[in-house]
Structures are given as structure tokens and as C-alpha cells.
Structure 1
Amino acid sequence: MSDETIPELEREEIVKVWQKSARQPIHPWLRPIFVGVGLGIAIALGGMGVLTQLPARQEKAVANKITPKSQPVLTVTVSPVETTRVSRTLNTTGTIAARDLIPVLPQANGLQVKIIPEDIKEGTYVKKGQVLAILDDSMLQAQMSGARAEVESKQADVGSKQASVVSQQATVASYQAIVRQRKADLAQSKAKLEEAQKNYLRYRKLAMAGAISLQELDTRAYTVKTATEAVRLAEENIRSAQANVISAQATTGSAEANIYKAKADVRTSVAKIIQLQTQLKQTVVRAPVSGIVAEKLARVGDVTGIPPQTQVGTVIGGTQKLFSIIRDGRLELQAEVPEIQLPQVQIGAAVQITSDIDNRVQLQGRVREIQPLVNDKRREATVKIDLPLTNLLRPGMFARAAITTNTALAMAVPQKAVQPQADGSAIVYTLSGDDLVQSQKVEVGELINSELVEIKNGLQLGDRVIVDGAGYLKDGDRVKVKS
């Protein structure tokens, strides 16, 4: 290849670069750069004609002075600075607690704990109705046998009283029949008396007329007297029979009252049996709700209602607590918030929960309740935060909470693009042109999620930042951008 062909080849290469650049989209902020590049190319093309006139020796000297372009040191990926919503948070701490701690109390006192299933331990999840303990029911069984025998005796007494009532009712009916008979006898006696009186009046007229003797008249008068006595006697018999009916009815009423009393005694005995049956059911201690066993205080051999000396503090309302259950295993974070920051907290606000001792704890909670009272010594209020179901937390543990107070638009870049510095600051590498790297100091704000971070200052929207490979670069490096 001769020296005279070199300018022509270089000219063709420059034209190709220019055409390639012309096909690429030009951002507004890049146009001045490309104008300058175009002017440079024009000057270069004009200079080529001069170079062709130089002697070969001078042309080689000029070529030796041209510095070759540096090669890219790394292939990287870039990402533009973009806007996104950033959550402003209030950081606080608190204690994990059971959202709803249910005490399990014995319903029957004075009974010994006989059995506790082996699988009932602290931390065990139990279902509603599951057996937690069985109490000794031998004393109640003996009382049940006595109550059943008493019911049978009372029921037999009721049968006897009912038979007595039936007998008395028969007696009343008999006396009522006698009364009816006596009334019939009275009617007959009255009829005879009336007939005797009529005969006496007729014979008295005959005697006054001298048709019959006085002796005959006396006979008729005696007949009237006898009939009158018969009527009186019949009336007396009726009164006596009626008195017997009243007496028999009173006896029947008394017998019926005895039946009512006997039946009441039966009901009392049956109620006692029902009570004992209820107490027998209560000897089986069951879980009132589903959840996690937080405390197991009962031991085999303990007597309900008489807590051991070590469990004096577990008595509730005079009754010994046997177990406590975290309903549905639900936990909450009881966070302390200063009163001056309390207006920033809203019910339903999202909360990020973390732990200093377990980096696996990355939970999303929600504010459920703000306690109405403020501690008058620390000037703090308790904010209760609902937690999702998890095995990573236990009541009594310490945790941190970032309570979302509001959201706003902000600039953001991938977290991998931000490079922390020894002095506590941070930088990012931006892409200038197609392949030149420049370092830029930035002010970092909130972490938005597991991938993005807020940039408060140092960048503008549309800036391109190096993401993959940023940790291996320095200012002024040339890179190859991976599409």
C-alpha cells in the first residue's frame, strides 16, 4: 500500500462513522456535541487535501503524532434517572405482643388435673375444641349415681301419689252418687207428705160433717206427721252425703298437691343430674379458640382453684389460669411514638417491620389502633400495628417499625448504581456520550424497594447511570454499553 492511498482510506472511514452516527437518534442535549463533531470532520476532510501534498516523510511524522483511541475497559448496563413515588416514613421501635391473648380457666374448681396430652406444649398450634387437659371426675360420677337414684325414688313417689288421687276421685264420685240417691229419696218423701196432707184435709171435712170418727182423723194426722219426718230425714241424709263429697274432694285436692310436690322433687333431682352432667363435661378442658399455646401453667396433679405457690400471679377472678392461647396466632407490634410525631400516624398506614437480630424479618404491617392515653413520663403513645402470620417473631421480642406517613414524587435510580464512599457520601457513574464515564456525587434519600433508591440531589431526569459494573469503574473510563 502506497503513502498516497492512506488519506483516501481515512476519509472513507470518517464518512462511515459520520453516517453511522447520523442513523442514531439524537437527544436534544446531544445536538451541540454532534454539531462540534461535524465541524471537526469538515476541518479534517479539508486538511486531508493538504496532507496529500506533503512529502511522505512529513506525512509519516504527522501520523506518528496522532494518539490512538483507548479501548473500553468494561461492558456495563445503564438505566435512566426516572420518577417514582417515595414513601416518607417515621422510624420507631416497639415490642411484639399477642394481639388477643385468651386465658383458659377451669370451669369446675376443686378437681385434680388428671391428664394433659403430650402434644400440648407452649408454641403448639391448637384448634378450637381440642382437648387441653382432663380433670378427675370420680367424685362427680358418685354424685351422679346418687342423683339418678333419687330421681327414680321421686318418680316412684309421684306414681304412688297419682294412684292415691285416682282412689280419692273414685270416692268423690261414690259420694256424689249417694247425694243423687238421697235427693231422689227426698223427692219421694215430699210426694208422700203432700199426699198425706191432702188426705188429712179431706178427712177433716168428713169428720166435721160427722161422716167419720175422730179416731179415723187422728190416723190421717199421724200419717202426715210420719211423712213430714221422712222428708226431714231425707234432707238430713242429703246434707250428710254432700258433706262426704266435700271431704272427699278436699282429700283429692291434697293428693293432687302431693303429686305436684312429688313432681317438683323429680324436677329438682333431674336438674341436679343436668348440673352434674354439665360439670362432667367441664372436666374436659378444651381450647376456646384456635391459636398458639402461649402459656402452659397446669400440671398433672394440680387441683383447680388452688394454684401452686409458684403460680399465685396466674389467678384471674379467683380462678386459676391453666393455659393462655394467642387467638389465631395473630401478633402485633406495640410501637412507642413521641406525642409530637403522633399527628403523622394514621390508622391503616403501611408499616415496614425489621429486626436487629434476624435479617429475615422483612414484614409489611398496618396500623390498627392508636392508644388514647399518652405516657406522662416519656410523653409517648402506644401505636398497635397488625403483623402478618409468621414464625420469625415471638411475644416479647424487640422490633423496628418504619411507619409510612405520606408519599411524594421523587427521582430514583437502581440501588446497584449508587457507590458508597469512605467519607459517608455516595456517587454514581453517568454515561457521557456513547462510552465515556463520569462520576457524580449524589444525595441519597429513602430506599423505595429492594431495587430502587431515592436521589435527592446530584442528578437530573434523563441522566444515564451505570448499573452493572459500576463498582469497577473510575472517572474517565470508557465502557461498552450492553444493549
Structure 2
Amino acid sequence: MTVREEKFSDIEVEEVSEFEDADFEEDRVGSRSRPWLLPLLLGTGLGIAIALGGIRLLANRSAGQQKPVATKPATSIAPSMTVTVAPVETTRVARILNTTGTITARDLIPVLPLTNGLQIKQVLVKEGDSVKQGQVLAILDDSVLQDQIRQAKADVESKQADVGSQQADLASKQAAVATSQANVASRQAVVQQRLADVAQAKAKLEEATQNLRSYQQLANAGAISKQELLTRTTTVATAIEAVRLAEANVKSAEQDVLSAQAGVKSAQANVNIASANINSAQAAVRSSNAKVEQVRTQQGQTVVRAPVSGLIAEKLVRVGDMAGTPPQAVQNGIQNGTNNSAPQRLFSIISNGSLELQALIPDIQLPQVKIDAPAQITSDIDNRVRLQGRVREIQPLINQQRREATIKIDLPRTNLLKPGMFARAAITSNTAVGMAAPQKAVLPQPDGSASVFILSGEDIVRAVKVEVGEIIIGGRVEIKKGVKVGDRLVVDGAGYIKDGDKVRVVNRQ
């Protein structure tokens, strides 16, 4: 029905209504004379009203189905949200290699007893304590060593007394040597005297011999008597005997010198023996003193000190245990054939508290791991653990059964991790050029996907699904698919808008 037809219908309805009113008035005037006419008029009027209402309803439905000839201009839509935007940019994206492993001590130092067989008297630390180098960890009972020190000191005193006795004997022997040497000198002087006597006797013999020759010539000449010649002959014979006797005395004196010299040698030998005895006694004293020092050193070793600074990882002794003696469980291990010949340690110290993560990497991924590569460490049981480590070592051997290699990742000092804990590592293997956007611009969806709002034009947003990659430092995330470089993404306010909304941009980054 057209607008003209609607108007015509309205006029027609009005004319019928006026006609009804005139008839009704006429009938009302004449109703008194015709009472049967009133019900008839009422029924007729009600039927006409129902018919006109149906015609109007059909006309309205027809008008709704037809396109209007002219419409009023639409009113402007106000922005639904104030937002900020940021462009999609190119950046270098670090590729992450995820692995798991066990927290271990980088350098676990065993603390061994320096003296075995002594009872533990005091234990001054417990597991988890932080200690400094040289700090006392435990004290051993030194009563046995004190008895040994007293015994060794008594032995030293005895040896020193023996040295004194030997030194007195040496002095006596040395005096005997001096006496023998003086006797030798005296005998040598006697020899010299005897030699002088021999010379004198020989001089007298020479004189007597010359006189005898002179008297022989005189006797031959008859100048002297035979008795005078005989006297001179006797004098020569006497001189010869005197020479022989003097020479015999010289030999006797020389024999006395030799005897005295032998006495000197004997006395010197005694001196040497006495000196050797002194040396032996002094050596015994030194040995006893060394034993005293040794026991004193052992006594000093009854104080167990920390060899390095760090954390106590293990405390393996109690008060009353014997230092160096394995516990019963270890003894059972020895009985079962286990080799436990190594000294039993008392404590284990994590040197400087340094920890490392020993993680396993499949051999096919091993080329992706580099020394000094950064790694982020997390824990499934403690969400506070979020540490930055660094790959320190890649062990050269690969497990032949699992085809895995072990890498060691240095960790910063922390109280959140303990040796033996399980941890995860995200190792940065390499970097590549990719697209990045603020992480706040990416909205997770219930189906596990992600989407962003791209600013289309100046104020209309369009929802787009994207494929997200690695998390980038600085609150950004890699976007692999769904956008292109330069697209403007809604950041602040992205969670409060929907596809097609009109927004107000307050700043553009």
C-alpha cells in the first residue's frame, strides 16, 4: 500500500466514522419509537471497527516489507573506547631451545678428617648453613692425643739425659786424648835428648879415635910407653860403647813415642765413639721432639675447619661418631663387596654456593647450543624461580642409549634452588629477523589461538587472528602470521573492544 493509499484509507475511515455518528444520532433520536433497532446498530458498529483494525494491520505489514521511498538521515555513532596503538615492527627474535635437568653443586668440596679414629665431640653447623673459609665445623676428642703428648715429652727428657751422659763421657775421652798427646810430646822430647846424647858420644868417640892414632904414632916412635897407648885404646873402646848405649836409648825413646802415639789414637777412637753416642742420643732427642710435634699437630687437627667458603650441603656425622670410620650402612656395603676405601667425609660444602643445572639435550639439537648462550631457568614447583643462567660446558660424551648430551648451565646465587631439584631451562640457540608487537596487544582466545585488533583507517578496529612465536625481552612478543610490518595494533584498551568498534586513539607509538 502506498502513502497515497494510506491517506485515502484514513479519509475513508473518517468519513465512515462521521456517517456512523450521524446515523447513530438519528437512531438515538428514533430509538425510543424503535427499541429493536439499538442492538442492531451496536452489532453493526462493532463489526465495522474490527474490519477497519484488520485493514490497518495489513497495511502496516505491507509498508514494513516494502523499501521506503525516503529515509531520515542516520545519527553519528560515538566512539566506544579510548585506546593506544603501536605499530608492528621488525626485530631480531631469539630462538629458544627448551630442556629439563637437575640442579647440582658446581663444585662440591668434601671435608675429610685430618685425624682418624677420634670421637666427634662437637658439631657446630647444620645443612644449609653458610660458612666462611677457616670456620670451625666440628671438634674431635683429643684426650688420647694429650696422653701421647705427655708420653712423648717424657721420652724426650730421657733422651736428653742420655745426651748429657754421653757428652760427659766424650769430655773424659777427650781429656785422655790430650793426656796421650802430651805423653807423645814428652817421649818425643826424650828422643831428641837421646839423639843429642848419641851425637855427643859420637863426638867423644871421634876425639878418642884421633887421640889413639896420635898415640899410636908416638908409641911406634917410642916416645910414649905402651901403658899410655893402652889407656888411649881403652878410652876409644869406652867411647864406642857410649855411642852404642846412646843409640839404644834413642831407639827405646822412639818406641816410647810410638806407644804414646798409639795411646793417642786409642783415646781419639774413644772420643769418636763418644761423639757417635752423643749424635745417636741427640738424634733420639730429635725423634722424640718430632713425635711430640706430630702429636701436637694431630691435636690441632682435632678442630675441623671449612676449607672454602660456601654452603653446607651435607652433614654426615653426629656427636659420638668416630672420625674417619664409616657408619654401619657403609660397613654393610664393605661386607657386600662395595669399595669404600676412600676416607669417610664429615661434610660437603658447595664452594661459594655456586649451583649449576645439568640438562639433557638430544644429539640432533646439540649444534644449536653454544657456550655462553643465555638460558632462563624456571621451576614447576616454585613460580618465583625465574633466573638468568649461562651455558658453561657441553660434555663431550653422548649417552649411547638415549642419544643425549649433558650441558652444564651456571646459575646465579639464590636461596630458591637446592641440589637435586628439577628445573627447566629455555636456552637461546640463535636469532633471526621477525615481527614483534607489544605483548598487551595480543589477546588469547578460548580455543587456544590469539588475536589482535588492527586500526583500520583512523578510528575503526578490525579483529585478526595471529600466530604467536617467542616472547621478547621488553614486554614484546613475536608474531609469525596474521599481520604485516607497519600495521597499527591496539595496545591499551584491547580487552574492552570488539570487531568493528569505533575508537578514539589518544597517542600513536
Other-structure match for 1:309: 328
- Range 313-322 or range 91-100, more displaced: 313-322
Consecutive unaligned residues of structure 2, counting only runs of 5 or more, are: 1-68, 217-227
Instruction: Report the count of equivalent residues.
Output: 420
* AA matched with 1:394: K
For the 8 Å contact 1:113–1:133, the answer to whether it is kept is yes
* AA matched with 2:273: S
Separation (CA, whole Å) in 2 of partners of 1:337 and 1:78 = 41
Query: CA shift at 1:319, angstroms?
Result: 1.9
Other-structure match for 2:108: 101
Q: Give % identity.
A: 59
Other-structure match for 1:168: 173
* CA offsets 1:346-387 (integer angstroms, 9 cap, x no match): 111111111112111111111111112111211111111111
Other-structure match for 1:396: 420
Secondary structure of the residue that 2:364 maps to in structure 1?
coil
Q: Where do 4+ consecutive residues of structure 1 move more than 4 Å?
A: 311-316
For the 8 Å contact 2:103–2:418, the answer to whether it is kept is yes
Secondary structure of the residue that 2:483 maps to in structure 1?
coil
* CA offsets 1:406-442 (integer angstroms, 9 cap, x no match): 0122111111110111222211011122221111221
Secondary structure of the residue that 1:438 maps to in structure 2?
strand
Q: Please say if 1:180 is aligned against 2:199.
A: no
Query: CA shift at 1:453, angstroms?
Result: 0.3
Separation (CA, whole Å) in 2 of partners of 1:477 and 1:420 = 19
Other-structure match for 2:495: 471
* AA matched with 2:191: L
2:441 to 394, 417, 432: 417
Other-structure match for 2:142: 137
* CA offsets 1:163-209 (integer angstroms, 9 cap, x no match): 33233223222222221221121111111112112322432454462
Query: CA shift at 1:218, angstroms?
Result: 4.1
1:79 to 74, 83, 86: 86
Other-structure match for 1:448: 472
Q: Pick the structure with greater CA Rg.
A: 2
Q: What is the TM-score when the length of structure 1 is the normalising length?
A: 0.83
Query: CA shift at 1:158, angstroms?
Result: 2.3
For the 8 Å contact 1:206–1:212, the answer to whether it is kept is no
* AA matched with 1:103: P
Pair 1:447–1:93, CA change in 2 (3 A): same
* AA matched with 2:155: E
Separation (CA, whole Å) in 2 of partners of 1:317 and 1:473 = 74
Root-mean-square deviation (CA, aligned residues, Å) is 2.0
- The 5 Å alignment of 1:67-466 reads 67-117=74-124, 120-207=125-212, 209=216, 210-213=228-231, 214-312=233-331, 317-449=341-473, 451-466=475-490
Secondary structure of the residue that 2:115 maps to in structure 1?
coil
Secondary structure of the residue that 1:77 maps to in structure 2?
strand
Query: CA shift at 1:156, angstroms?
Result: 2.8
Separation (CA, whole Å) in 2 of partners of 1:288 and 1:316 = 23
Consecutive unaligned residues of structure 1, counting only runs of 5 or more, are: 1-60
Secondary structure of the residue that 1:83 maps to in structure 2?
strand
* AA matched with 1:332: E
Separation (CA, whole Å) in 2 of partners of 1:334 and 1:226 = 110
Query: CA shift at 1:311, angstroms?
Result: 4.6
* AA matched with 1:149: A
Separation (CA, whole Å) in 2 of partners of 1:77 and 1:359 = 31
Other-structure match for 1:5: none
For the 8 Å contact 2:330–2:340, the answer to whether it is kept is no
Separation (CA, whole Å) in 1 of partners of 2:431 and 2:391 = 16
